[in-house]
Structure 1
């Protein structure tokens, strides 16, 4: 496991703010993220929480895989192994991009100390215009 991937290992609380400009709705997700080692030197990330959005509450979860790549980069995969995005951790920050049809997802992230990091996702295109801001805390 590379030093880059190791920085994410462990259990984190999640506070995610959701702003959907297209729908004119805001929401939140609160829960946990657990980054556990995999047999191939990466991490499996499982997020679980409660999503409050559009007047309703429901359980939510997702699974991602973080794999060490050449030069200290990280390949992020969907839970089923499909490629999602790649990032390099530079000065405690990273960025990446994922194309999905005609929509584009961009992410910026940064560590705010050993026990906190945040990610900001922005999805734009003909079908999407929303921002997810997530703070992870140990």
Structure 2
């Protein structure tokens, strides 16, 4: 497993800008893709954070612009957040109190199994294993904090 950094205030930890590098592998076909871009966690009026990710996704050599928006809302403790899609639908729970968290998200016939690891003040990683009738994928995302120069 490894050593993880406990996070006592998840929203404070996540706040700000992060560089994003995500690998996507189709475990059945062997096809691979890479997303590179930026995520910004900015304050919402309800005390949560708006997560806006923008960048380029290259799948089998073809680059395309890609973006997504999530809402990270205060959870039951300062180390926890309630992650929602941009339209407010529930996505998953997240508790970074120990610096490591596992969660699931059922999506139609597919199951997303997530693992979150905090490796330091400026680096965290997510892994999503997606399985279903037509999917067998692994998505690994490294996020590195952007520092003011």
- With normalisation by structure 2, the TM-score equals 0.87
1:134 aligns with 2:141: yes
Written as runs of structure 1 = structure 2, the 5 A alignment for 1:24-43 is: 24-43=30-49
Secondary structure at 1:5 match in 2: helix
1:54 aligns with 2:60: yes
**Aligned partners of 1:23 and 1:63: how far apart in 2?**
29
Secondary structure at 1:7 match in 2: helix
Structure scoring higher RCO (CA < 8 A, sep ≥ 6) equals 2
Larger deviation, residues 64-73 vs 117-126: 64-73
Cα RMSD of the aligned pairs, angstroms, is: 1.3
Q: Per-residue CA shift, 1:45-92, capped at 9, x if unaligned?
A: 000011010221110000000011213421100011111111222321
**Aligned partners of 1:95 and 1:19: how far apart in 2?**
20
1:96 aligns with 2:103: yes
**How far 1:103 moved relative to its partner?**
0.9
**How far 1:128 moved relative to its partner?**
1.1
**How far 1:24 moved relative to its partner?**
2.5
**Aligned partners of 1:56 and 1:96: how far apart in 2?**
31
Secondary structure at 1:70 match in 2: coil
Written as runs of structure 1 = structure 2, the 5 A alignment for 1:106-121 is: 106-121=113-128
Q: How many residues align?
A: 137
Counterpart contact for 2:96–2:118, Cα < 8 Å: no
- With normalisation by structure 1, the TM-score equals 0.94
**How far 1:113 moved relative to its partner?**
0.7
**Aligned partners of 1:129 and 1:52: how far apart in 2?**
19
